[in-house]
Amino acid sequence: MRLLLCFLLLAVNVLTAQQPAAPERKLESLLLMPEPKALRGPFSITLPKAQQTVFTCYREAAGAVNGVEAYTAETFKKLGISVESFAARAKTAADKRLLLLRPELIKGEDGKIAYAVYRGDSPLYATLLVAPSLPKIFAELFGPEIWVVTPDRHSLYVFPAKAELLQEFAEDLAERYTSEPFAASCEIFSIKAGAEPQVVASFVGAEN
């Protein structure tokens, strides 16, 4: 019996050793990161009616603070593309990430879905704001227009286009934005299928 057990343990160890290691996830090189306008650089763009937010060309990088870093003149030049081309490709890349994720659906006091949220440890959640498929995913739940906010890099909130509903969360969103060392945006974006996100309001004062 002891010999049999030794043989089985040896067989298990051999099989385990033969299992191929899981491939490492490829670092994302096309990220359009929302951030406060004070951080605007040469590789930033602005969306319609945005007054306090810019979208900057970023990439994931091993060892970078929070796991991502903005492109420098040297690193961006190596891409051989314009900022506009980068933005277009970043939107496609964001769409691919979005379709692999499931949002958390939050119910209100009436038992109905009040809003949805994507959140986690990854600093890439804020970049989902520019994913073209975002309004399509929530069309049946919230209608053809959604309002999206991303106070920090680790979360993205999706609401129906109702100002009174968002007002209930304005204080919490403002606290997340002002207390987070990696703040994303204090503005509220209206998104419809086939249209570029457009700012409709801010949940903090202009002085922030």
Coil vs helix vs strand at 21:
coil
Q: Is residue 81, in this structure, part of any structural domain at all?
A: yes
Q: Is residue 21, in this structure, part of any structural domain at all?
A: no
Q: Is residue 75, in this structure, part of any structural domain at all?
A: yes
What is the reported pLDDT for 53? 97
Q: Is residue 45, in this structure, part of any structural domain at all?
A: yes
According to DSSP, residue 28 is labeled P
What is the reported pLDDT for 163? 84
**CB contact at 8 A, 90 and 127:** yes
| pLDDT tens digits, 62-100 | 989 899 999 999 999 999 999 999 999 999 999 999 999
Along the chain (208 residues), what's the average pLDDT of each consecutive run of 10 residues?
A: 41 43 74 96 94 97 93 97 97 96 94 95 96 97 97 97 87 93 96 95 70
Q: What are phi and psi of 157, to 5 degrees?
A: -100, 135
Q: Is residue 3, in this structure, part of any structural domain at all?
A: no
Into how many domains does the chain fold?
Answer: 1
What is the reported pLDDT for 202? 94
What is the reported pLDDT for 21? 46
Q: Is residue 9, in this structure, part of any structural domain at all?
A: no
Where on the phi/psi map is residue 81: left (φ > 0), alpha (ψ -120 to 50), or beta? beta
Q: Is residue 6, in this structure, part of any structural domain at all?
A: no
Please choose, from the candidates 90, 202, 87, the residue with its C-alpha nearest in 3D space to the C-alpha of residue 151: 202
Q: Which domain covers residue 197, as residue numbers?
A: 31-202
Q: How far apart are CA 169 and CA 74, in angstroms?
A: 41
Query: Can you point out the beta strands (E) in the chain?
Result: 31-36, 44-45, 53-60, 68-70, 104-107, 113-119, 145-149, 155-160, 187-192, 198-202
Q: Residue 87 carries which side chain, given as an amino acid letter?
A: A
Q: Is residue 110, in this structure, part of any structural domain at all?
A: yes
**CB contact at 8 A, 170 and 199:** no
